Structure 1
Amino acid sequence: MPLSKIMNIKHLFFTTLTGVTLLLIPSAVAQTSSASSSTSSRIIREAIATKRINWGLRQDSPPISFKDPIGGWEGFCTNLTDLLDKYLREKQFINNDINIVRYPISIQDRFKKTRYPYQDSLHLAGECGSDSIRKNETGITFSHVFYATKTLLLIRKTEEAKFSFLKTNSLPNFSSNSKPKIGVINTSITPDRLQSFFNSLLSEMEIVNIQGGRSQLIDALVDKRVDAVASDEIILRRILKELDLETPNEFYIDSELVISYETYGLILPSDDSKWVQIINDFFINKKYDIQLLTQQYIIPPSPPSLFTKKLIFILLMIIATLSGLSWVGYMYWVRRQNFRSEIKPNLDPKTPIFANGYALLIGVGESDYQPLSLPVTVKDIQALHQVLVDPNFCAYPNNRQHIRLLHDQEATRSKILEQLNWLKQQAEANPEATVVVYYSGHGWFSKSQNSYYLLPHDINPFDLESSSLSAEDFTNALRHIKSQRLLVIIDSCHAAGMATAKKAPSDFKEIPIPESVINDLSQGKGRVVFTSSQGEESSWIRPDKQMSIYTYHLIEAMKGEGNQAHENFVKISHLMKHLSHQVPVSARTLCQEEQTPYFSVEAEDFPIALLKGRRPKIRQQGVKSD
């Protein structure tokens, strides 16, 4: 049978399979799961005992599942596990004390930690990633199908002629050195699919097994060790998108040459049939939510028509023209008004305000021990206070019942704890409170005590441990703030002042707040912790010494630089988006140093301020601070 007819039959099969996939998760399947019967599940019993459900996610297969540059989970599987978590609570399989904990897995160690009986110290209740359903292996089983896709080739355009014989009835005439080379991940099932599809033609090409994962597959293609790579269409589309950023129009996906059809599902331990039933019922109950996720992450958008493209171009030209006129008008208004930077209080009761916003801004500034003074931290909190109470931006109520500053002689250990208690009282009085705690100053780690300390104004260099604010005391005070939305921002590893602190004990080291402390701080519902740097990095001051790099970009984000034009609130995600991109760039450009913000988010995305206007940014250049 000619290859073209085979491909037509396969296309018909795929169309049918996709339809069946969406109907395979139907209301026709009886639902028998219930909270009362869930205890017969080994996974649920262990979750009740350990207060957690361990779940594996592939960290290297976007858009299905991956980690972003700052270590956060992204992709379809991340949202699917969030949906599963909510479902298990809705059905009362688990209570609020139990959490799904994500663990990274690679293509090399998939199944290893899920296979029952467990062969690894880490026991997973399931895995989600770019894993196709196949025959159940020993110790594992697969869930219902949640998506169907195709195995295709991503080809270098200059080598396109080498693959033309696959679409014709003619046999190739390659020399041993000119055979087309197809790269595959060695631990995947793609080699088997190639073997099955090409069969007798397999001798006319060279299959190159690539050790590693997706990144190594891309490297082999870019380095010209292979002429094409084979994988499922979802992964290939993402690879092509990344390649086009560096080398546009050098590669293409051959959507006509369908090597095989694949169905996706979750990987589960084979011993717990009740758990498998719970998961399959989850796919049935949440089929519409899951379809929305596939549309968001997996299904490619339809290409715009020629008419749509022309309409978009016309609209962009109109927007550009109006933007230019608006800018000219704005500059004229600024000059006429002799615009001043002082912020006027919000006196108009008709003007919307962020009425439930509360903030404590701590900038240690002057220290009793002069070498540890950091004047720029006072400028940081004053600038942050200014944008928070600006009625044209964040619109926090401009009074001491909603926002307070501690700096210089006021930023003592006792005062900090006292004002944290004030926040506790405000949160108790207002269940809708959104609370921000910002600390900028030195933070030191004691190796002998294995403890982290924030250094307030009244620090005694001869008795750092007793005169500092320990992370434990700081965390305990924050835990008493029962707000549903709490953002803690810590800028505690300033490069300035470190070398001059000669009286510090030898076992004290200035480092960013450790991840273990961050984890303690972020415990509880609605808790988010930001730090300005991580690892061995320092937190750098802008060359003009008017503000730290981190706070400069935090204020930009509070003014909406991470938002879309139509959005009226600044959310946690907007801050993260802007800070994660801009801080490393500025640190390298202005200071020739590395600085990477860290985010610990144990809450759903929530608004942190209003967004009522924007002002143009003023970019400044300079050199590294002292």
Structure 2
Amino acid sequence: MNPTRYPQGRALLIGVANYQQISSLPAAILNDVNDVAATLSSPNYCAYAPANVVTLLDANATRAAVLKGLDELAARAIPDDTVCVFFSGHGAIVGSPGNEDSVLVTVDSDLTDIENTTISSDELAVALAKIKAKRLLVFIDACHAGGAAISKSLTDGKDHEFKSGYTRNAFAKLAAGSGRALMASCRADEESAVFIGARNSVFTTVLLAGLRGAADKNVSGFIKVFDLFNYIAEEVPKLVPDDQHPIFKADDLEVNFAVALSQGGKKSPYCSEAKPATQQEDPWSVLEGILAELYPFGPRDQEMWSRAGGDLSRLQFHSSGHAAWHAALRTLKQGGGGRNINFSSLLRTAKEDFSNHPQLATL
């Protein structure tokens, strides 16, 4: 069986710009949801069945409606489905310093009773855990900023105010579980840019391009989770240099699963024709797949990273081997991971361990 198999996709997309009692956000937030929904359900791009793509916007995105939408998604999704949950709007940081957490702010949230009128990260994590799909990807585009008209905090005009955003702890909760992953528009201490007059936020602008085929650099016919984040992580900082860095969280994710079909690519997933000679696979992606197969516990496996000249202390810890390799190679491409390690040294070390491996021989 193809580990990236993609029989059916389902999505719940939530966007709130015009809050009832809290500072508003630009119209780009609503465009984000509508455009992601159109892209996912387009036969020319991701080819989700339109009936499987549900949107909740502004007045329809109440606390009760969001929780009901998640319950309905859990009731309909089967293990072989791929599920996406997308939220664009306010997040609020609550709790005391050192013990901070986050809540998802719905259209009817009230800052005077924030605990009972928002959705806590624990509550959201429980709702996501009920979804039995083996592949689930959560997108969070929050902590918006981009001009004097957009507040950097949540206010209600009555002296109630909360810091906007999501904590690392909240992101970790939402990504917990096998086959679960999360992509967020920015780090906990950054802001998600929305350029004045732009149709979409910066994060969603890049996400849309990725879903429409830009993330399928190998023309595989699928938009795969690691490839999608690779594209987002490389392109967002080009638009907002040094100020916005999307993050990826995965607790137990080994397979580079398909988020969607890539009908906008140059090759249909059902086409048996070989790739043109000019359309070669990205060697970094090929090496990542090989290393994840040969060293399933990550760069620490058999001291692979160290033997190739790398410094393990420069790498972030990930609980799954594939996620660890994905992050390590992205760090290496950006010039990190140790002074004496590079693509060639990694390849050379792998060839020393597996001299007869056919794919290694072609790199």
- Does the pair score TM above 0.5? yes
Q: Which letter does structure 2 place at the counterpart of 1:541?
A: V
Q: What SS does the corresponding residue of 2:138 show, helix, strand or coil?
A: strand
Q: 1:600 aligns with which of 249, 252, 262?
A: 249
AA at the equivalent of 1:413: R
CA distance in 1, matches of 2:132, 2:234: 31
2:104 maps to which residue?
Answer: 454
For residues 504 and 538 of structure 1, the distance between their equivalents in structure 2, rounded to whole angstroms, comes to 23
Matched, 1:424 2:74: yes
Alignment CA distance shift 1:538-1:503 (3 Å): farther
Separation in 2, partners of 1:503, 1:491:
26
Distance 2:226 2:88 in 1: 22
Matched, 1:407 2:57: yes
| Corresponding residue number in structure 1 for 2:93 | 445
For the pair 1:562 / 2:207, whether they are aligned, the reply is no
Of the three residues 16, 25, 40, the one matched with 1:388 is 40
CA deviation after TM superposition for structure 1 residue 500, in Å: 7.3
Q: Return the match for 1:509 from 149, 158, 163.
A: 163
CA distance, structure 2, for counterparts of residue 504 and residue 567 of structure 1: 53
Deviation readout 1:545-585 (Å, 9 max, x if unpaired): 31100000001000121222531000001211110011111
Please give the per-residue CA displacement for 1:460-487, whole angstroms capped at 9, x wherever unaligned. Answer: 1322222111111111111111210000
The change in CA–CA distance for 1:500 and 1:431 in structure 2 (over 3 A counts) is closer
Which residue of 171, 191, 194 maps to 1:518?
171
Compared CA separation, residues 533 and 573, structure 1 to 2 (3 A): same
**Separation in 2, partners of 1:532, 1:383:** 16
CA contact (8 A) 1:549 1:586 kept: yes
Q: Does 1:497 align with 2:151?
A: yes
SS in 2 for 1:567: coil
Residue 463 of structure 1: SS of its match in structure 2? helix
Distance 1:500 1:420, change over 3 A: closer
Higher relative CO (Cα under 8 Å, sequence separation at least 6) belongs to 2
Which letter does structure 2 place at the counterpart of 1:362?
I
Query: How high is the sequence identity, in percent, across the aligned residues?
Result: 30
- Normalised to the residue count of structure 1, the TM-score between the two structures is 0.39
**Aligned equivalents of 1:567, 1:468: Cα separation in 2:** 40
Q: Secondary structure at the match of 1:560?
A: helix
SS of the residue corresponding to residue 193 of structure 2 reads coil
Cα 1:500–1:403 shift into 2, 3 Å: closer
Distance 1:518 1:446 in 2: 14
Determine if contact 2:47/2:261 at 8 Å carries over to the other structure. yes
- 1:376 and 1:546 in contact (8 A); partners too: yes
Confirm or deny: 8 A CA contact 2:216 2:265 kept in the other structure.
no
**Quick check: 2:153–2:163 contact (8 Å CA) kept in 1?**
no
Between the aligned partners of 2:183 and 2:154, the Cα distance in structure 1 is 27
Call closer, same or farther: CA 1:565–1:526 in 2, change over 3 Å.
closer
Question: Does residue 362 of structure 1 match 2:14?
Answer: yes
Tell me how far apart the structure 2 counterparts of residues 531 and 577 of structure 1 sit (CA, whole Å).
13
Separation in structure 1 between the aligned mates of residue 22 and residue 107 of structure 2, nearest angstrom: 10
Q: 2:113 aligns with which of 445, 454, 463?
A: 463
TM-score by length of 2: 0.66
- Pair 1:546–1:585, CA change in 2 (3 A): same
Whole-Å Cα distance in 2 between the matches of residues 367 and 569 of structure 1?
Answer: 36
Structure 1 residues 503 and 536, CA, compared in 2 at 3 Å: closer, same or farther? Answer: farther
CA contact (8 A) 2:216 2:262 kept: no
1:484 alignment partner in structure 2: 134
The DSSP-based 3-state class of the residue aligned with 1:358 is: strand
Distance 2:204 2:53 in 1: 17
Cα deviation digits, residues 563-608 of structure 1 (max 9, x gap): 22531000001211110011111113xxxx6000000123121001
Q: Does 1:433 align with 2:81?
A: yes
For the 8 Å contact 2:87–2:139, the answer to whether it is kept is: yes
Q: Computing the radius of gyration over CA atoms, which structure comes out larger, 1 or 2?
A: 1
Aligned to 1:351: none
Alpha-carbon distance between aligned partners in 2 of 1:476 and 1:582, rounded to the nearest angstrom: 32
Q: Per-residue displacement from partner, 1:51-100 (whole Å, max 9, x unpaired)?
A: xxxxxxxxxxxxxxxxxxxxxxxxxxxxxxxxxxxxxxxxxxxxxxxxxx
Residue identity opposite 1:498 in structure 2: K
- Whole-Å Cα distance in 2 between the matches of residues 415 and 386 of structure 1? 21
Task: Give CA deviations for 1:304-334 in whole Å, capped at 9, x if unaligned.
Answer: xxxxxxxxxxxxxxxxxxxxxxxxxxxxxxx
Does residue 165 of structure 2 align to residue 544 of structure 1? Answer: no
How many Å separate the matches in 1 of 2:113 and 2:151?
Answer: 18
C-alpha separation in 1, matches of 2:60 and 2:140: 18
Q: Hey, what's the Cα distance between the residues in 1 that align with 2:39 and 2:129? A: 27
Cα deviations by residue, 1:516-563 (Å, 9 ceiling, x for unpaired): 222222221100011110031000113323110000000100012122
User: What is the CA-CA distance between 1:492 and the residue it aligns to?
Assistant: 1.7
Q: Secondary structure at the match of 2:38?
A: helix
Which residue of structure 2 lines up, in the alignment, with residue 474 of structure 1?
124
Instruction: For residue 194 of structure 2, give the secondary structure of its aligned residue in structure 1.
Output: coil
Residue 581 of structure 1 corresponds to which residue in structure 2? 234
Read off the aligned partner of 2:23 and give its amino acid letter.
Answer: P
Look up the equivalent residue of 1:461 and give its one-letter code: L
Pair 1:528 & 2:177 matched: no
Unaligned runs of 5+ in 2: 1-5, 267-363
Q: Is the 8 A contact 2:15 2:29 kept in 1?
A: yes
Alpha-carbon spacing, 1:509–1:370, altered in 2? closer, same or farther (3 Å): closer
* 1:374 and 1:441 in contact (8 A); partners too: no
What is the aligned residue count?
A: 252
DSSP-derived class of the 1:456 partner: coil
**Match of residue 613, structure 1, among 255, 264, 282:** 264
Amino acid at match of 1:534: R
**Structure 1's 447 and 357: CA in aligned 2 closer, same or farther, altered over 3 A?**
same
Instruction: Give yes or no for contact 1:355–1:396 (8 Å, CA) kept in 2.
Output: no
Q: Residue by residue, what CA displacement relative to the aligned partner does 1:205-237 show, whole Å, maximum 9, x if unpaired? A: xxxxxxxxxxxxxxxxxxxxxxxxxxxxxxxxx
Q: Distance in 1 between matches of 2:233 and 2:33?
A: 20
Deviation at 1:371, TM superposition (A): 2.1
- The CA distance in 2 between the partners of 1:546 and 1:370, in whole Å, is 22
Q: Secondary structure at the match of 1:424?
A: helix
- Equivalent-residue separation in structure 1 for 2:188 and 2:22 (angstroms): 27
* d(CA) in 1 for partners of 2:92, 2:159: 10
1:462 aligns to what SS in structure 2? helix
